[in-house]
A = this chain, B = another copy of it.
Amino acid sequence: MITIGQLASFAGCTVKAVRTYHARGLLPEPPRDAAGYRRYDARSVVDLVRIVTLVRSGVPLAQVPAVLGAGGEEQQAAVERIDADLGRRIEDLRHRREQLRLLRAPDRLCLPERVVAYLERLRALGVAEAYVAVERDGWILAAAVAPASVGGWLPVKERLLDDPGYVEVLRGYAAVLDAAPDDPRLDALAAATAALVRRTPQEADPADVDLPRAVLDLLASCGTWSPAWAALGERVGRLLAER
């Protein structure tokens, strides 16, 4: 007649684990002595060793009775199920680990290959890192809210980078990213933007048509992340409306 502590140390588990197995009905509650202590016999040791062995083999507590109590076929089937489940969990962790490795480069975070290449091209043009970060966030947003449209917008933006006038304006936007809304540079930049828009063919983007209103609003709001940009947008709008 041994105590719970001895039982646990024989079976190589903790006292808490033994009490958990009692509560789960995996191991029957033994009789108590006068002080209310649980008193175990040899059977309990054997039963507990079996349970501990199964648990350490990855059998979920809920499946332990099925594996211990069932005869050959049923047991076999239960073990196969548990084995398959372990395999799935291993695969899942492995997949997460691969994803994690892809995150090591911060740009790759959440973005398709081609967008990463586009951002790299921006950097090569000498655009400030802060502006690239804003563009990156914009693409993350676009990929989240309108994934089907990203493939259509990307070639347009790539072609724009071939236009020196566009790149000049873009550098201007990057320069005033943290500027105040009344920065003196904004007037010239707004005029340059308006001129650029006027000489750029304005075809309606077919990919945008189906987007719900909420998505369009979200995407539009990207242009106002910087107070200076918000002011710019307003001035450009006025200039374009003038003529």
Contact = CB atoms under 8 A, between A and B. Distances in A.
Given A41-B218, A144-B49, A145-B45, A97 B87 contact: yes
A217 B1 contact: yes
Given A50-B109, A214-B6, A103 B145 contact: no
A56 interface: yes
Interface stretch (A17-25, A29-37, A76-84, A149-157): A76-84
A76 B192 CA distance: 41
For this chain, the copies found in one complex come to 2
A101 interface: yes
Given A56-B96, A214-B2, A137 B46 contact: yes
Contact of A42 (B49, B90, B221): B221
A96 B100 CA distance: 24
B10 A145 contact: yes
B58 A79 contact: no
Interface in A96-110: 96-97, 99-104, 106, 109-110
A87 B230 CA distance: 47
A2 B93 contact: no
Nearest to A214: B2
A61 interface: no
A216 to B, nearest CB: 11
Interface in A147-186: none
A75 interface: yes
B96 A93 contact: no
A152 B55 CA distance: 29
Nearest to A41: B221
A238 interface: no
22 contacts: A1-B214, A1-B217, A2-B214, A12-B144, A41-B221, A42-B141, A42-B218, A42-B221, A42-B225, A45-B140, A45-B144, A45-B218, A46-B137, A46-B141, A49-B140, A49-B144, A53-B109, A57-B96, A57-B100, A59-B100, A90-B90, A90-B97
